[in-house]
Amino acid sequence: MGSYRRIDCIFFSEFHPTLGPKITYQVPEEYISRELFDTVQVYIITKPELQNKLITVTAMEKKLIGCPVCIEHKKYSRNALLFNLGLVCDARTKTCALEPIVKKLSGYLTTLELESGFISNEESKQKLLPILSTLLEELNVTGACTLPIDDSNTIHLKLIEQRKDPLVVQEYDVPVFTKNKDHFTKSQWDLTTQQILPFVDGYRHIQKISAEADVELNLVRIAVQNLLYYEVVTLVSIFQYSNVYCTTPKVQNLIDKKCLQEECIHYVSKLGQRTNLRDVFQLYCGLTPGTTVRDLCSRYSHQLQRVDERKLIQFGLMKGLIRRLQKYPVKVVRDERSRPPRLYTGCHSYDEICCKTGMSYKELDERLENDPNIVVCWK
Amino acid sequence: MSSTAMKKKVLLMGKSGSGKTSMRSIIFANYIARDTRRLGATIDVEHSHVRFLGNLVLNLWDCGGQDTFMENYFTSQRDNIFRNVEVLIYVFDVESRELEKDMHYYQSCLEAILQNSPDAKIFCLVHKMDLVQEDQRDLIFKEREDDLKRLSRPLACTCFRTSIWDETLYKAWSSIVYQLIPNVQQLECNLRNFAQIIEADEVLLFERATFLVISHYQCKEQRDAHRFEKISNIIKQFKLSCSKLAASFQSMEVRNSNFAAFIDVFTSNTYVMVIMSDPSIPSAATLINIRNARRHFEKLERVDGPKHSLHMRMR
C-alpha cells in the first residue's frame, strides 16, 4: 500500500452566538494560527449557500478540508447549530482520498447531534477532543479507524487510495498473477472471478478462459479488468514460439537491482534447477526484431537448459524488460469500388485478427503472405 | 424608470443579536414582527439591494455582530466596509449588559467612518424598547441619547428609540430614508401644491413597498405627532394580511362626520393618503383629483435631475 496522506491537524470549529466562528478543539493544539483562521473562516463557518458541501480551501501553504453543517431548530440560540469538523494538510498533499472521510465524519456528527444532542450538550461535546486525537493518530498510521462513540454509535473510517483507471481488456490479452496465487483469498471475490480463477495461468488468453470456464466473454473481460484495477494481475500477450520480442531500456534493471535478479532467477528457473544471471541476461539480449522464440531456443540451447523459456518471456513482459513485436497487416492497394478494409488497417494485430476471426496464426500468415495488396508492419 | 439610479451604501451595524436583521426584514422584506423569531444569525455581511422610489437603490450591508466578525471589520476588511458609506445605522440593544463593550465597538466604527467616509450620516437606534417598562422609556432613552451624542463628537448622530412591536421602527427608518432621497425637496413642494389645490388638511406620501412616509404636508397643527409612523405600521400590517389571503391591497376610504381619509396607490413607487375635513366635498371629487395628480407625480419620478417645474391643472 502507498503511504497514507499525512493529516497535520484535525479541528472542530463552531459558531458561537456572541463570539462568532471559532475553533473549539484542535489536535495538535494551536496548530491553526489566528491569522490562518481569520483568512479562511468564511469557508469554515459559511453562509447558507455553502453549507453541507465539501469545501477545500488553500491558504498560507496549508489545505483545509471541511464540510460545514447547519442544523436548524428553534431550540438553538439563533435558531441553528453551525459546526465544521475538518482536516488540515500541507498545501502540496493530494487530498482526494480524504474527502470521503470528511464527508462521512460530518454525517456522523450530524446524526449524533440529531439523536442525542451530542454537540449542543456541553458535557458530551468534551468527548470530541479525545475522539479527534484518536482519529488523527489512527488515520495517519493505519489509514483506518473504528471508534465507538456511545452505546449506539461507532465511527468506521477507511482511507481508500484512488487508483488509475485500468486498461480495457481485449480478448487476446493474457492475465497473469503478479503475486503468489496461493495468497489469494477466493471467498472475498465475486462469483464470476471465482469461476475464472483456475484458468488464469499466465498462458490462457481471455477468449480461451471464457471458453474453458464457460463464462461469457464480456464478463471475463470485466472480471479481469477488476483484478487489473487492484493490481492483482497484469496483462501479457499470447505466447507462441513464432512470437518476436525485443528488449526495452528497462532490461538494465536486471543488472542494477539485486532483488529483481533474485526474483527473476527464482521465477524462470526450471523445476528443481537454478539458473544464473549471466545466462538469463544473455537470453533476454538475444531477443531482437526478426528473432523468434524458436530461433532463440535453437541458438541458446545451452542457456535454456535450466530456464523455462515460457516463464522467461512471461517474466520479461510482466516487468517490462522486453516487449512483443506484433504484426499489423495493411491493405495498401485497393480497388476504388471495394469496401474499405475492416481489419487490415494497420491498427489490428495478428493476435487480434486471429481471435476475432477464429483463424490460426499459421492460416492467417499464409493468407496474407500470398496477397500482393497487403503489407505487414511490425511494431 | 430611470436607468441611472443613484446607489447609496447603508451600513447596518451593532452587537450580535441586537436586531439588525429583524428590522431589515420587517421594513424591506415584508416580515411581520412575529416572523423575525425564525431568523438565524447573520454570517459576516449580508448584502441586499433595495429599489426605492424608482431612482434610488439602497445598498444595505447587514453586518453580523459577533466578536470575530467585528474584529475583522476593523482590521482586514476595514477599507471594504467603511468606504463610500452614505449612512451608518448603529443598533444598540437597550437590555445589553455590556455597555462598555458596546460603546467600544461603536467608537471603533466611528473612527473607521471618520477615516473613510467622514461625510456619512450617523443614526443610532436604541432598540428593543418594548422590554423596558413604559414609564421608564423616555428617561432611559434620554440618558442613552446624551451619552451617544457626547461619545460621537466631533461627528453628529441622530438617535431614535425603536421596537419591532410598535410604530417607532417606522419613525426611525422613515427619517433615515428621507435623508437619502435625491429630490425630496421638490417632492415636498409638489405635494404642497397638490394639497392646497384640492384643499386637503393633510397629505402623506408613502414609498410603495415599505410604506415608509417619505413626504408630507399639513395645513395646521395636529394632535398626535406620531401619527405618521402609526399609519405606516397599521397599513403595512393590513397590506401584509391581505396578501396572506392572496388579495392585494389597493385602496381604502375611511370617513366619519369629522373627516374623510383616502389611501390609494399613487405612482408606480408610491401610495398617497389624503385627509379632508370639509364634509361638503364629495369623495368622487377627491378621487378624481388624486387620479389627475398621478400623471404629474409619475413624471416627476421618472426624471433624473431636479430640473422640472410641475404645472398642474385641476378642475
**CB within 8 Å: A74 and B38:** yes
**CB within 8 Å: A38 and B66:** no
**CB within 8 Å: B66 and A74:** no
Candidates B66, B78, B93, B101: best to mutate against A (most CBs of A within 10 A) is B66
**CB within 8 Å: A19 and B43:** no
**Of the candidates B39, B41, B72, which has its C-beta nearest A15's C-beta?**
B41
Q: Is the previous residue joined to B282 through a cis bond, with omega within 30 degrees of 0? A: no
pLDDT at site A3: 52
CA A135 – CA A105 distance, rounded (Å): 10
Q: Is the previous residue joined to A28 through a cis bond, with omega within 30 degrees of 0? A: yes
A53 contact B CB<8A: no
B70-99 residues labelled b (16+ CB within 10 A) or e (exposed): bebbeeebbeebbeebbbbbbbbbbebeee
- Burial class of B195 by CB neighbour count within 10 A (0 to 12, 13 to 18, 19+): buried
The answer to whether the beta carbons of residues A251 and A321 sit under 8 Å apart is yes
Average pLDDT, chain A: 89
The answer to whether the beta carbons of residues A66 and A85 sit under 8 Å apart is yes
Q: How confident is the model at residue A104 (pLDDT cuts 50, 70, 90)?
A: very high
Give me the sign of the Cα torsion angle A197, A201, A202, A207: negative
Q: Which residues on chain A are in Cβ contact (under 8 Å) with B16?
A: 17-18, 20
CA A123 – CA A52 distance, rounded (Å): 25
Q: How confident is the model at residue A155 (pLDDT cuts 50, 70, 90)?
A: confident
Long-range contacts of B239-245 (CB under 8 A, 24+ apart): B239/B211, B240/B30, B240/B32, B243/B30
Lowest mean per-residue pLDDT among A135-144, A273-282, B141-150, B177-186: B177-186
**CB within 8 Å: A22 and B68:** yes
Q: Which residues on chain A are in Cβ contact (under 8 Å) with B39?
A: 79
- How confident is the model over A242-269, as a mean pLDDT? 91
Give me the sign of the Cα torsion angle B115, B117, B122, B125: negative
Q: Which residues on chain B are in Cβ contact (under 8 Å) with A80?
A: 40-41
Report whether pLDDT(A183) > 80: no
CA A97 – CA A163 distance, rounded (Å): 10
Q: How confident is the model at residue A180 (pLDDT cuts 50, 70, 90)?
A: confident
Q: For chain B, what are the domain ranges?
A: 6-179, 184-302
Quick one: cell of B138? 423616555
Domain B184-302 has CATH 3.40.50.1370: no
**Of the candidates A19, A42, A47, which has its C-beta nearest B66's C-beta?**
A19
Q: Residues with Cβ < 8 Å from A100, sequence gap 6 or more?
A: A160
Quick one: cell of A291? 528473432
pLDDT below 50 — which residues of chain B? 1-2, 304-315
B15-36, pLDDT tens digit by residue? 999 999 999 999 999 898 999 9
pLDDT at site B3: 54
A47 contact B CB<8A: yes
SS3 B87: strand
Candidates A13, A15, A22: best to mutate against B (most CBs of B within 10 A) is A15
- Give the percent of chain A with pLDDT over 70: 99
By C-alpha distance, the chain B residue nearest A76 is: B40
A74 contact B CB<8A: yes
A71-94, pLDDT tens digit by residue? 999 999 999 999 999 999 999 988
CA A338 – CA A329 distance, rounded (Å): 18
The answer to whether the beta carbons of residues B306 and B183 sit under 8 Å apart is yes
By C-alpha distance, the chain B residue nearest A44 is: B43
pLDDT at site A230: 87
B107 contact A CB<8A: no
Candidates A78, A81, A83: best to mutate against B (most CBs of B within 10 A) is A78
Quick one: cell of A56? 477545500
A187-211, pLDDT tens digit by residue? 788 899 999 999 998 899 999 999 9
Report whether pLDDT(A45) > 90: yes
Q: A185 or A21: whose pLDDT is higher?
A: A21
DSSP B112: H
- Give the percent of chain A with pLDDT over 90: 57
Prediction ipTM score:
0.82
Q: Which residues on chain A are in Cβ contact (under 8 Å) with B72?
A: 38
How much is the pTM? 0.74
- How confident is the model over A218-234, as a mean pLDDT? 92
- How confident is the model over A139-154, as a mean pLDDT? 85
By C-alpha distance, the chain B residue nearest A22 is: B68
DSSP B266: -
**Of the candidates B37, B67, B72, which has its C-beta nearest A38's C-beta?**
B72
- Tell me how close the Cα of B225 comes to any Cα of chain A, in angstroms: 36
Q: Which CATH number fits domain B6-179: 1.10.10.10, 3.40.309.10, 3.40.50.300, 2.60.40.10?
A: 3.40.50.300
B64 contact A CB<8A: yes
**CB within 8 Å: A80 and B40:** yes
**CB within 8 Å: B43 and A42:** yes
B65-88, pLDDT tens digit by residue? 999 999 999 998 999 999 999 999
A318-357, pLDDT tens digit by residue? 999 999 999 998 888 777 777 777 888 888 998 999 888 8
Q: Which residues on chain B are in Cβ contact (under 8 Å) with A55?
A: none
